[in-house]
């Protein structure tokens, strides 16, 4: 159904797109700094699932609607931006509690797995960079003459979340290692927790003012 040439060409383009740090990468780094490696890796998984839901949306026409409709694009964009700002504010608010937990030798309380996965999923699905990429670029690699267009899109679309999963996992591990060093000092950890929160707030703000280009 999907030729090796189609798959290779789309994979190459996807790698180029993912290599350029976007909302998912910055979100992963900020999560690794604020809540640790384990939650950052779960966030990566949730993010990949959210991106693949975008693929499903593109396969059945919703992606094209978002890409072409100013209103739909704006709704998706602001939903993702608002959620990022909310998570950032929470991180800044709780930075002292995080530092205090490590400083007293007590392991910081982890959020539930489902909650962390949900956070990553929401940000992944509301990522305007990937939805526009999928809506505008993915259909160009489909062989319309071969039929079964939705199935081709679903198959080709797996490439993006898989590549993002591998790339973001690397970023999560690196940022998590940096956080381990910061955790040796409560003041360092408080600083990095606040910085990670500010990164999320800044990322959400930048998404809110990003145009369709």
Q: What is the pLDDT of residues 168-193, one digit of tens each?
A: 999 899 888 877 776 666 666 666 66
Rounded CA-CA distance 156/138 in Å is: 8
- pLDDT of 103 reads 44
Collect all residues with Cβ–Cβ distance below 8 Å to 78 and sequence separation of at least 6.
208
- pLDDT of 97 reads 56
Rounded CA-CA distance 124/4 in Å is: 27
**Helix 128-136 crosses helix 37-59 at what angle (to 10 degrees)?**
30
Contact 168, 25 (CB under 8 A): yes
CA separation, residue 165 to residues 15, 46, 162, 181 (Å): 11, 9, 5, 25
Rounded CA-CA distance 83/105 in Å is: 31
Please tell me the pTM assigned to this model.
0.70
Indicate the burial class of 174 (C-beta count within 10 angstroms; 0-12, 13-18, 19 or more): middle
Rounded CA-CA distance 8/121 in Å is: 27
What number of residues does the chain have? 213
3-state secondary structure of 186: helix
- pLDDT of 34 reads 77
- pLDDT of 109 reads 45
pLDDT per residue of the chain (213 residues) written in tens, 0 to 9: 678 888 898 898 888 778 766 677 778 887 887 778 888 999 999 999 999 999 998 888 765 565 566 676 677 667 767 877 877 787 677 666 554 444 444 344 456 889 999 989 988 888 777 877 787 778 778 887 777 888 888 999 999 999 999 999 998 998 888 777 766 666 666 666 677 677 778 767 876 776 544
């Amino acid at each position: 159904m999907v030729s090796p040439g189609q798959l290779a060409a789309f994979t190459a383009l996807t790698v180029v797109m993912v290599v350029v740090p976007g909302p998912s990468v910055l979100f992963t780094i900020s999560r690794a700094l604020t809540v640790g490696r384990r939650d950052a890796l779960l966030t990566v998984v949730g993010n990949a699932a959210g991106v693949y839901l975008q693929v499903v949306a593109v396969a059945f026409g919703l992606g094209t609607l978002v890409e072409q409709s100013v209103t739909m694009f704006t709704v998706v964009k602001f939903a993702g931006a608002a959620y990022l700002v909310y998570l950032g504010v929470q991180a800044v608010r709780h930075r002292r509690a995080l530092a205090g937990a490590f400083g007293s030798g007590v392991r910081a309380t982890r959020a539930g797995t489902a909650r962390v996965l949900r956070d990553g999923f929401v940000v992944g699905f509301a990522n305007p960079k990937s939805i526009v990429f999928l809506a505008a670029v993915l259909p160009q690699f489909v062989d319309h003459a071969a039929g079964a267009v939705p199935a081709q899109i679903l198959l080709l679309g797996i490439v993006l979340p898989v590549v993002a999963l591998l790339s973001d996992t690397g970023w999560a591990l690196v940022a998590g290692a940096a956080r381990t060093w910061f955790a040796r000092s409560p003041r360092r950890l408080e600083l990095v927790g606040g910085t990670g929160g500010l990164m999320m707030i800044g990322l959400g703000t930048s998404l809110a003012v990003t145009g369709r280009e």
